[in-house]
Structure 1
C-alpha cells in the first residue's frame, strides 16, 4: 500500500492541511498583489478605478482581505504542532530503545518512559526554536525585496513559544492570544478614531523619510517594524494557537468525521466575517464614510473568516485515501501546499518581475493595472507555481526552499547535555521481565 509521506517526518500525509495550504496561497497572492500594483490615483488626485475594480474590491474586502494571513498562521501552527507530536513520538521510542536490556526484551519502567518522553520533548522544543531562528533569517532576506514578508514573523512566534508548544501549555497560550487580541482591538480602534488630518500628516512624514533612504534600507526598516507589529498587534499568535490546538484533534485530518461541525463553521465563519467587513466594503465602493470602528471589526473578525475558509477547505480535501492518491484540483493544491515556502517566495519573484523589472527596463516606470486585472495577474502567478509544484511532485522533489530550510536546521543542530536515564534496580528489572513478578 502506498501512503503519502511527509517531507518532515514519517507517517501518513493527511491531505486536508496540504490542500488548504495550496488554496490559501492563492488567497495570499490576491491579498499581496496590491502591494506591487501602483495606487489607483491619478496625477490630479482622483480615483482611476473602474466600476469592475470597485466591485472586485468589494468582494475582496468581504472574503479575502484580513482572511489569508490568519489562515496562513493557523496552518503554520498546525504544522508546528504536527512536527512536535511526531518528533516526540519517534524520539521517545528511540530513547527507550537505547536503554540497557530493552533490545533483549526488558520492558522499560514508568520512570524510564517519563525520562524518554522528557528528552524527546526537549529535542522537539530545540528543533522548533532552531527552525524559527532560520525562518527569521529567511524572512530578513525576503524582506529586503518585500517588506510585507510573513516568514520572519512566523519564525519569531516559533522562537518565543517553542517551549509552551512542545509542552502543550495551552492555557498560557490562550491567555497570551487573548491579551494580543485586546491590544490589537485597542490599536485598531485608536487608528479608526484618529483624525484624517493626523493620519495624513503621519503618512506624509513617513513617505518623506522613506524617500530619503535607499529602497532596500526602507524595506529592511519596514520589515523590522512589521516583524514585531505582526506578532504583538496582529492576530498571528491567536491564529497559530488555534492551528496548534487543531493538530491535537482529528477535526482537520479526518474531516469526514466532523462534517456537521465543519459545515456550520465554514458557512458561519465566512458569513460572520463578511458581515463584519460589509460596511467598510460598501463605503469603499460607494465612496462613503468609514465608521471609526470599521477597521477594528474587519481585522478582528478576519480570524473568524479564516476559520470558515479552513473548515470548507478541509471538507473539500477529505480524509486520507487507502492508496494515498489524490485527483483533480486536490492533487494540484496538495502539491502546492507541500511546498508552501517555495510558492510564497516564488510569488515575490514573479510579482517583482511583472510589476517592476520588466516594465522598468522597457519603459522606465513600474506597471500599473486596475485592481481586477491585478487579481487576474495574481491568479496567473499562482497557476505558474502550480505547474512548478506539479513538476517537482512528479520528480519526487521537495520545494527548493523547503530543502534549504531543512538542511540548515539539521546542520545547525548541536549536542546538548542530557540527563542520564533513571537507574533500574535488579528487583525492578526482574519484575518487569517476569510476568506477574
Structure 2
C-alpha cells in the first residue's frame, strides 16, 4: 500500500507542523488517560498512601496536561477535517468541470457551470464528512466498551451534525454554537462545584453493572454531554478555521503571533489551574469553580501547546525531508487513530489482562509510576509507527476507516449542468460548428 503524505501540496511539499504537533500531542493524551486504568484505591480504605512524587506529578499534570491535551486533540481533528474538505472540493470541482460536454474540444466552462461544479463538489465533501463521522461513531462505540473515556465518538458526532456547516465554511454559526456549548458546560460545572471533579481520574462506582454495560453507559454520557457539550466543539471549529490560513502550515511566517500564543496561552492555562493544582501539594480546600476554570482555560492551554509545537516543527524543508524528532513525531501524527487505539490495547494489557492472569488482581500504581508507564507505552507505539513509515504503510486503523468510508459510499443523482439545455454554440466561449 502506498502511503499518501498528509498536508502536501500539488508539488508534494510536506508541511510538518500539523503532524508533528499531533505526534507529541498523543504523548499528552497517553499521560492524561492512564489514570483511568490505574485508579488507585482510596487512602481511607487502608490500601494506598500517595507519595510526594505522586502529589507533585499531579500538580504538574494539572497545570499543563489535564483539560489541555484533549482540546489540543480537538483542534488538530478540526484542522485535518477542513484540510480533507478543501481537498475534496478542489479535486471534485476539477472533476466535474472535466465531465462537462465539449471540454475536451477546448470549450471553456461558463461561470454558471463553474458554480455548479463547485456546488456538486461541496455536496460530495459534506457527504464524505458525514459518512466518515458515522463510522467514527461506530469506532468510538466499540472502543468505548473497553475504555469509556473514548474521544473518537465525540469527534464523529461533531462531523455528523456539522458536516454541512463545515463544508460551506459557516464559521459564524459554528463559533456561536461552540461558544454556547462551552458556556453551558462551564455553567454546569460551576453549579456542581467540587463534586464535578470526582470523575477526573476514573469512573464512578458502578459495581452493580457488568463492566461492559457500565462502560457503554459512561461512553454515551461522555459523547453526548461531557465531551460534546464542552469546549471540544469550539476547539474543533478553531482548528478548522486555522486550516483556511497558513498559520500552522507555515509557522515560520508567523513567529511573533505564535510566540505570543505560546506565552499567553500557557500562562493563562497555568493561572487557571494553579489553585486546583495546589490542592494536591498543600492542605487547602478546593474552590467551587476550580474544575470550571480548568476547563475554560484549557482552550488557552491547547492554543499555547499548538503554537509551541508548530514553532518547533517549522515550515517545509526545501527537500521535503524531516530529520530527528520531527521525523519521528510526524510518523506518529499521521497514524493518530492507530496510536490512540493502541494505547488502550497496551494499557488494558498492562493494567488488566496480564495482572489478572498472573495474580488474579488488577495492577494499581501511583500517579507518578502510571505516568512512566504511559510514556513507555507511547515509545513502544512510536517504534511501530517508525517501522510503518519506513515501509510506506499507513496505520491499520486509518486503513480500516478509509476503506469503510470508501466502500460505504452510495451514488447519488446529480442535477444536470446548467449548460446542457443550451446548444453548444450558444455558450460563451463555444466554437461554432462547421
**Normalising by the residue count of structure 2, what TM-score does the alignment of the two structures yield?**
0.93
Aligned-partner SS, 2:105: coil
Distance (Å, rounded) in 2 between the aligned partners of 1:122 and 1:304 = 34
The 8 Å contact of residues 8 and 83 in structure 1, kept in 2 or not, is answered as no
CA contact (8 A) 1:40 1:49 kept: no
Q: Quick check: 1:343 aligned with 2:339? A: yes
2:429 match: 432
Q: Contact 1:53–1:371 (CA<8 Å) still a contact in 2?
A: yes
The equivalent position to 1:213 in structure 2, one of 193, 204, 209, is 209
Which residue number corresponds to residue 135 of structure 1?
136
Q: Secondary structure at the match of 2:42?
A: coil
Post-superposition Cα deviations, 1:206-256, rounded to whole Å, max 9, x if no partner, equal 62xx21211111111111111101444221100000000000000000000
- 1:367 aligned to 347, 363, 366, which one? 363
- How many angstroms does 1:324 deviate by? 1.5
Distance in structure 2 (CA, Å) of the matches to 1:426 and 1:195: 68
- Report the secondary structure of 1:345's partner residue: helix
* Corresponding position of 1:97: 98
Could you tell me how far 1:258 is from its partner in structure 2?
Answer: 0.2
The superposition leaves residues 10-58 of structure 1 with CA deviations (integer Å, 9 ceiling, x where unpaired) of 7544211000000000000000000000325235458611111111111
Q: Secondary structure at the match of 2:188?
A: helix
What is the SS of the residue equivalent to 1:284? coil
Look up the match of 2:397.
Answer: 401
Q: CA deviation at 1:277?
A: 0.3
Counterpart Cα distance in 2 of 1:179 and 1:231 = 14
Q: Does the Cα contact within 8 Å between 2:194 and 2:290 map onto a contact in 1? A: no
CA distance in 2, matches of 1:7, 1:368: 41
| Structure 1 residues 89-109: Cα deviation after superposition (integer angstroms, max 9, x where no partner) | 000000000001112211100
CA RMSD of aligned residues (A): 2.3
Show CA shifts across 1:45-87 (max 9, x none): 5861111111111110000000000000000000000000000
Aligned to 1:71: 72
8 Å CA contact retained: 1:389, 1:399:
yes
SS of match in other structure, 1:103: helix
Instruction: State the Cα deviation string for residues 367-404 of structure 1 (Å, max 9, x = none).
Output: 11221111111000000010000000000100000000
Q: How does 1:212-291 map to 2 (within 5 A)?
A: 212-291=208-287
327-336 vs 211-220, greater mean Cα deviation: 211-220
Over 3 Å counting, the alpha-carbon distance change for 1:287 and 1:358 in structure 2 is farther
Q: Displacement of 1:323 after TM fit?
A: 1.9
Unmatched segments (≥5 aa) in structure 1: none
1:347–1:382 Cα contact (<8 Å) kept: yes
Confirm or deny: 8 A CA contact 1:88 1:120 kept in the other structure: yes
Whole-angstrom CA distance in 1 between matches of 2:340 and 2:129: 20
Q: Is the 8 A contact 2:151 2:227 kept in 1?
A: no
Q: Is the 8 A contact 1:82 1:247 kept in 2?
A: yes
| Structure 1 Cα separation of the partners of residues 391 and 358 of structure 2 | 36
SS at match of 1:285: coil
How far apart, CA to CA, are the structure 1 residues paired with 2:377 and 2:136? 23
Instruction: State yes or no: 1:298 paired with 2:299.
Output: no
Q: CA deviation at 1:4?
A: 7.4
Q: 1:433 to 1:40 in 2, by over 3 A?
A: same
Check whether the contact 1:6–1:12 (CA below 8 A) recurs between aligned residues: no
Q: Which residue does the alignment assign to 1:165?
A: 166
Q: Does 1:108 align with 2:109?
A: yes
- Cα deviation, residue 319, structure 1: 1.0
Deviations 1:389-432 (A, max 9, x none): 00000001000000000000000000111111002645875641
Residue pair 1:157, 1:231 contacting (<8 A) in 2 also: no
* 2:5 alignment partner in structure 1: 5
In 2, are the aligned partners of 1:40 and 1:370 still within 8 Å (CA)? no
Match of 2:329 in 1: 333
* Structure 2 CA distance for partners of 1:254 and 1:195, relative to 1, 3 Å: closer
Matched-pair contact (CA < 8 Å) for 1:37–1:374:
yes
Task: Give the Cα–Cα distance (whole angstroms) in 2 for the partners of residues 71 and 101 of structure 1.
Answer: 48
SS in 2 for 1:323: coil
Whether the aligned pair in 1 keeps the contact of 2:272 and 2:297 (CA below 8 Å) is: yes
Return the alpha-carbon distance in structure 2 between the equivalents of residues 195 and 368 of structure 1.
Answer: 24
What is the distance in 2 between the residues matched to 1:400 and 1:324?
Answer: 25
Corresponding pairs, count: 425
Matched, 1:179 2:180: yes
